[in-house]
Structure 1
Amino acid sequence: MKKRGWIIYNGNLPGNKFLDYAQWIQEAASKQDSQTIIIKNNELLSFLGTNQLELLAASKMELPDYVVFADKDIYLARQLEQLGLRVFNSSHAIESSDDKITTYQQLAINKLPIPKTIIAPKIFATGRIDSKSIEEAIGKLGFPMIIKEAFGSFGEQVYLVNSEEELNLKVLELQGKAFMFQEFVSSSYGRDMRLQVVGDKVVAAMKRTAANDFRANVTAGGKMAAYQPTEQEEKLAILATKAIEADFAGVDLLFGPDKNALVCEINSNAHIHNMYDCTGINAADYIVEYILGQPDDE
């Protein structure tokens, strides 16, 4: 029996980047004889009441066999799961990926290599972080130092600070937000690698470099080139994906000082268009093949 799917993306964001991802998944599903429809998250309002748990706009729609969730609307993803739908990636995986502090905690508990990280204590907007915490971060990590917000995309919430004065100003600016102090990996300055993992396999990889920025994100001006990862890098990317219990992910690795990679970030909804432009490999084909190959009772 042919499987039917929903592909959900965020309908409130400007631009077509997220719709583009959904369309690539839809085209891949069509090639594999699976009918799908693309739905905005704001078209599926979750409704809760006594003895009621449903989707308002979907009352006249037949529920699908699977959902590809190209968004970070964790509450909607969880509502779909509570209705008995298999969601790729799961709400748990999306939540773990979206919160970078949670990501690093999951990586650490699985004993995977990561930069040294200190989680800043929770400070409300009306409070102020104590100087002792800052002094401990400086003593443990030194300068330069990375300050990374727990929530952010495209490298925009990652900062490089070179002095105690810069650090104090950045901490003051981030008051009320969750963030972390992190070791600066100088051997990976302006370069990293993105490995696209699907199931137990790395299906594509690229190296990203930036001439005038410590971040290598393509959105921030980085250049990309096809890359052949080492066996250690492939294994690490797969283990990192499993650490957050994702079915597929774009895993960003840093070039460590001893030539062994470190996990920088895990993207549960990695945009695959750049990877295709760089490598000629359409990760959507692998993602859909993986989804359609999962047993119905899972």
Structure 2
Amino acid sequence: MKAWLIANQFLMNNKFSELTNWLFQAAKAANIEMELRTNAECLAILGRGGVDAFKQYHETLPEFVLFWDKDVRLATYLESLGIPVYNSSQSIALCDDKSMTHLTLGQYGIPMPKTILAPMTYENIGYTDYDFLKGVGKELHYPLVIKECFGSFGAQVYLAKDEEDLLGKVKQIGTKPMLFQEFIKSSEGRDIRLQVVGDQVVAAMYRYSEVDFRANISNGGKMRAYQPTDRQINLAIECTKILGLTFAGVDLLFGENEEPIVCEVNSNAHFKNIFDCTGVDTAKQIIDYILMEKGNKR
């Protein structure tokens, strides 16, 4: 069986290369002839003769693609050629844009923080007034959370303690898409990451921080292995099914009565930390599941 592992040409640092190498080795152990290709090496060729040119350039197309990137345009193009892509372009797009994640999950009554989407503006115009922020503060109360719709590792997540702080952070973000959420005080500095593959939670870790309202490891948080409850497991799996994901990292918060609340769903969740924490090899789990799924479809 031949496959491609797609990674981003411009994000090939040690942190990301380690993961792609890990996936590559897992495929090799499963006797899959996997080629590592970047999105810059697989240019989507459209228009007259475009598909034929793409096929001729690559000679042999893969039986499936493990898409370890967020280039949804390329993922969509590969799907248009009839190649199964994991995760799908639509799933990646829904997770990459946090506003779309919440819009989609909200249609199914998934428990999540009260969320307000910032009105769209144009880059060459910006916000000509900030009156809408008064409504945000009144509805969500302070402190409240601000998230850029596109971001990873908690780096684009902020806490506003009052109206002045909110205005300053919104001006700092500028015209980038953003959303506002109620601050779940009962989950301050703690959450859980559940690694889902197929219809199973294969690993889970508890993340906590004593210095930041965010529990992300990249922001100085700590971690330990965690045994999720049935309620947490079922919620994580339900989210991945709604979003059409084959594999994902689902982050859950703790409500006032420890009830699970969905924070985020990550289509390309980094799994080194959860491996260090639990010993579960997510790369192997992903490859094994794809092989099982493809075998069932034959």
Give the TM-score, by structure 1 length: 0.95
**Which whole-Å CA distance do the structure 1 matches of 2:38 and 2:52 have between them?**
16
Q: What are structure 2's unaligned runs of at least 5 residues? A: none
- Please show how residues 252-271 of structure 1 align to structure 2 within 5 Å: 252-271=251-270
**Which whole-Å CA distance do the structure 1 matches of 2:128 and 2:106 have between them?**
25
Aligned residue number for residue 44 of structure 1: 42
The Cα of 1:267 is off from its aligned counterpart by 0.7
**Which whole-Å CA distance do the structure 2 matches of 1:150 and 1:53 have between them?**
33
- Larger displacement relative to structure 2 (90-99 or 37-46): 37-46
The Cα of 1:273 is off from its aligned counterpart by 1.2
Instruction: Report if aligned partners of 2:55, 2:61 keep a CA contact under 8 Å in 1.
Output: no
Aligned residue number for residue 117 of structure 1: 115
Q: In the alignment, residue 64 of structure 2 is paired with which amino acid?
A: Y
Aligned residue number for residue 10 of structure 1: 8
Q: In the alignment, residue 73 of structure 1 is paired with which amino acid?
A: D
1:247 aligns with 2:246: yes
The Cα of 1:49 is off from its aligned counterpart by 1.6
Q: Report the 3-state secondary structure (helix = DSSP H, G, I; strand = E; otherwise coil) of the residue aligned with 1:195.
A: strand
Instruction: Report if aligned partners of 2:198, 2:289 keep a CA contact under 8 Å in 1.
Output: yes
Q: Report the 3-state secondary structure (helix = DSSP H, G, I; strand = E; otherwise coil) of the residue aligned with 1:295.
A: helix
The Cα of 1:50 is off from its aligned counterpart by 2.1
Aligned residue number for residue 60 of structure 2: 62
Aligned residue number for residue 292 of structure 1: 291
- Larger displacement relative to structure 2 (225-234 or 286-295): 286-295
- Please show how residues 1-298 of structure 1 align to structure 2 within 5 Å: 3-53=1-51, 56=54, 59-125=57-123, 126-128=125-127, 130-295=129-294
**Which whole-Å CA distance do the structure 1 matches of 2:52 and 2:259 have between them?**
48
Q: Report the 3-state secondary structure (helix = DSSP H, G, I; strand = E; otherwise coil) of the residue aligned with 1:237.
A: helix
**Which whole-Å CA distance do the structure 1 matches of 2:56 and 2:155 have between them?**
35
CA RMSD of aligned residues (A): 1.6
Q: What are structure 1's unaligned runs of at least 5 residues? A: none
**Which whole-Å CA distance do the structure 1 matches of 2:169 and 2:86 have between them?**
36
**Which whole-Å CA distance do the structure 1 matches of 2:200 and 2:273 have between them?**
19
Q: Report the 3-state secondary structure (helix = DSSP H, G, I; strand = E; otherwise coil) of the residue aligned with 1:113.
A: coil
CA 1:12–1:163 in structure 2 vs 1: closer, same or farther (change >3 Å)? same
Q: Report the 3-state secondary structure (helix = DSSP H, G, I; strand = E; otherwise coil) of the residue aligned with 2:294.
A: coil
The Cα of 1:57 is off from its aligned counterpart by 8.7
- What whole-Å deviation, never above 9, does each CA across 1:119-174 have from its counterpart, x for those lacking one? 01102232316444211111110000000110001101100000110011111222
Q: In the alignment, residue 240 of structure 1 is paired with which amino acid?
A: C
Instruction: Report if aligned partners of 2:154, 2:216 keep a CA contact under 8 Å in 1.
Output: yes
**Which whole-Å CA distance do the structure 1 matches of 2:173 and 2:202 have between them?**
37
**Which whole-Å CA distance do the structure 2 matches of 1:79 and 1:54 have between them?**
13
Larger proportion of helix: 2
- Larger displacement relative to structure 2 (124-133 or 233-242): 124-133
- What whole-Å deviation, never above 9, does each CA across 1:247-279 have from its counterpart, x for those lacking one? 110001111112101111111011111111110
**Which whole-Å CA distance do the structure 1 matches of 2:89 and 2:137 have between them?**
35
Q: Report the 3-state secondary structure (helix = DSSP H, G, I; strand = E; otherwise coil) of the residue aligned with 2:262.
A: strand
- What whole-Å deviation, never above 9, does each CA across 1:88-120 have from its counterpart, x for those lacking one? 000000000100000001110111100000001
**Which whole-Å CA distance do the structure 1 matches of 2:285 and 2:52 have between them?**
31
Q: In the alignment, residue 117 of structure 1 is paired with which amino acid?
A: T
Identity rate, percent: 46
**Which whole-Å CA distance do the structure 2 matches of 1:34 and 1:65 have between them?**
10
- Larger displacement relative to structure 2 (31-40 or 280-289): 31-40
- Larger displacement relative to structure 2 (273-282 or 166-175): 166-175
CA 1:90–1:275 in structure 2 vs 1: closer, same or farther (change >3 Å)? same
**Which whole-Å CA distance do the structure 2 matches of 1:237 and 1:129 have between them?**
40
Q: In the alignment, residue 85 of structure 1 is paired with which amino acid?
A: I
CA 1:175–1:55 in structure 2 vs 1: closer, same or farther (change >3 Å)? farther
Instruction: Report if aligned partners of 2:196, 2:236 keep a CA contact under 8 Å in 1.
Output: yes
Q: Report the 3-state secondary structure (helix = DSSP H, G, I; strand = E; otherwise coil) of the residue aligned with 1:47.
A: coil
- Larger displacement relative to structure 2 (222-231 or 132-141): 132-141
Q: In the alignment, residue 123 of structure 1 is paired with which amino acid?
A: T
How many residue pairs get aligned? The number is: 296
**Which whole-Å CA distance do the structure 2 matches of 1:94 and 1:81 have between them?**
13
Q: Report the 3-state secondary structure (helix = DSSP H, G, I; strand = E; otherwise coil) of the residue aligned with 2:65.
A: strand
